[in-house]
Amino acid sequence: RMSRRAKKLRDHDINPCLAETDATTKCMDDNNYNKDLCADYFLKYKNCRKFWHGIMMQRKRNGVKPEMPSAEERKKILESME
């Protein structure tokens, strides 16, 4: 069974970087845990976290709830940036 924390991390509405997390984990698994071979994946994950953290802090300052946009809202935010 997954812990409550693990379930939260697997929830698309809570974790905006689920795809990046999974891609990084897969890369590590495929490359015998050689971090150097997965540097691009780590960078994408880091950039994802930084981006959504900024959005979350902005929403928090503006009193918007929930602070982390839902998966559907995040999709719209990203589409508006293209």
Average pLDDT rounded to a whole number, residues 20-45: 97
Q: What percent of the chain has pLDDT over 70?
A: 99
Query: What is residue 61's predicted lDDT score, i.e. its pLDDT?
Result: 97
pTM for this structure? 0.83
Give the separation between CA 45 and CA 39, rounded to whole angstroms: 10
As for how many domains the chain has, the answer is 1
Judge whether 43 lies within some domain. Answer: yes
67 lies in which domain range? 14-80
pLDDT in tens, 9-25: 778 888 899 999 999 99
Judge whether 9 lies within some domain. Answer: no
pLDDT in tens, 62-76: 999 999 999 999 999
Judge whether 8 lies within some domain. Answer: no
Query: What is residue 12's predicted lDDT score, i.e. its pLDDT?
Result: 81
Terminal Cα-to-Cα distance of the chain (whole angstroms) = 39
Average pLDDT rounded to a whole number, residues 43-66: 96
